[in-house]
Chain A
């Protein structure tokens, strides 16, 4: 299977199975699946007294640091090297603790606006 597309040989990385960092949990604690380009940001409560720092793992803290600027789920997964499913579980923990909030869950279901399309077209033409 090693030669098939999508299965790439990668550096061994940390010798921890992916869901070990979530304590074996594979579903977000609040049951909500964040979109790949959902935008999250760290809140002021992430460093507050009531934010239960003891319950956080190094991976939680890594995510808090990455999300000081609004950041997408995909970028957090890419920057941490953690699988998307793991990032979703950890983000749900942080959201329930109030340490991270979702500023944009999903792109709109409805058609994109003319203004948006024009802005993208202008951007592409200027590349």
Chain B
């Protein structure tokens, strides 16, 4: 099947993906919808032990798969360059999906609510471990106490290079700025990695 699977350097549609991660109800879908057309996606996944205790399986002993609905958005820049934004469900029970979603992603936005900052710990840990560039976007809910980005950086014990920005996930212009910050961060990380990888000879 090698020939059928070959990519052969063929030009054409070149999709790339960004992840929008964060805790429950922090505004991930709102963020995707603010800047792109949201499309529904069903994934039919095996129930793992992570679901035990969450999903009531009494009376359905044979049920071993479950349908998980994800939303994603598409931004088409040119006819062939398309950015896919995948919302990543933050709860631990969905971690089985993260590796697949993260594979080959350019970077991630961790959307955080300052009132529930600990909800973003799993996302931060995951992207740090994977070495995937990410930015923290603090969703400024109406009435939420304001914190300075530096206070949040300390609370999350972030690498100083990781950008922390304020945003309004409902506002297209605000979300656009978050994505620009992310791509600039990816470019900076790339430049840094190139310096590290370069031979030390002079």
* A residues whose Cβ falls under 8 Å from a Cβ of B: 1, 4-8, 10, 18-19, 26, 30, 32, 35-37, 39, 70-72, 74-75, 77-78, 81-86, 95-96, 98, 101-109, 111-112, 114, 116-127
Partner pick for A124 among B7, B43, B176, CB 8 A cutoff: B176
Report whether A121 and B180 are in contact in the complex, using a CB–CB cutoff of 8 Å. yes
* B residues whose Cβ falls under 8 Å from a Cβ of A: 1, 4-8, 10, 12-17, 24-25, 35, 39-45, 54-56, 65, 67-70, 72, 74-75, 77-78, 81, 83-84, 86, 89-91, 94, 100-101, 103-106, 172, 176, 179-180, 183-184, 186-187, 190, 193
- Tell me whether A36 and B17 are in contact in the complex, defined as CB-CB below 8 angstroms, given that A6-B68, A108-B104, A121-B183 are known contacts: yes
A107 → chain B closest CB, angstroms: 3
The chain A residue with its CB closest to the CB of B180 is A124
7 A-B pairs in the complex with CB atoms less than 8 angstroms apart: A35-B100, A77-B42, A83-B44, A107-B16, A112-B16, A112-B186, A124-B176
A117: B residues at CB distance < 8 A? 106, 183, 186-187, 190
Report whether A35 and B67 are in contact in the complex, using a CB–CB cutoff of 8 Å. no
Report whether B39 and A39 are in contact in the complex, using a CB–CB cutoff of 8 Å. no
Report whether A37 and B84 are in contact in the complex, using a CB–CB cutoff of 8 Å. yes
The chain B residue with its CB closest to the CB of A109 is B104
The chain A residue with its CB closest to the CB of B107 is A112
Report whether B42 and A84 are in contact in the complex, using a CB–CB cutoff of 8 Å. yes
Report whether B86 and A36 are in contact in the complex, using a CB–CB cutoff of 8 Å. yes
User: In the assembly, what is the distance between CA of A106 and CA of B6, in Å?
Assistant: 11
User: In the assembly, what is the distance between CA of A102 and CA of B39, in Å?
Assistant: 22
- Tell me whether A121 and B10 are in contact in the complex, defined as CB-CB below 8 angstroms, given that A1-B55, A37-B17 are known contacts: no
Chain A CB within 10 Å — which of B44, B103, B190 has the most? B44
Report whether B42 and A39 are in contact in the complex, using a CB–CB cutoff of 8 Å. no
The chain A residue with its CB closest to the CB of B43 is A84
B12: A residues at CB distance < 8 A? 39, 70, 103-104
Chain A CB within 10 Å — which of B94, B187, B193 has the most? B187
- Majority SS of interface residues in chain B? mixed
User: In the assembly, what is the distance between CA of A101 and CA of B56, in Å?
Assistant: 41
Partner pick for A127 among B1, B35, B91, CB 8 A cutoff: B35
A8: B residues at CB distance < 8 A? 69
User: In the assembly, what is the distance between CA of A47 and CA of B13, in Å?
Assistant: 23
Partner pick for A102 among B4, B17, B41, B105, CB 8 A cutoff: B4
Report whether B75 and A84 are in contact in the complex, using a CB–CB cutoff of 8 Å. no
A86: B residues at CB distance < 8 A? 44
B190 → chain A closest CB, angstroms: 5
Report whether B187 and A74 are in contact in the complex, using a CB–CB cutoff of 8 Å. no
Report whether A85 and B45 are in contact in the complex, using a CB–CB cutoff of 8 Å. yes
B100: A residues at CB distance < 8 A? 35-36
Report whether B4 and A95 are in contact in the complex, using a CB–CB cutoff of 8 Å. yes
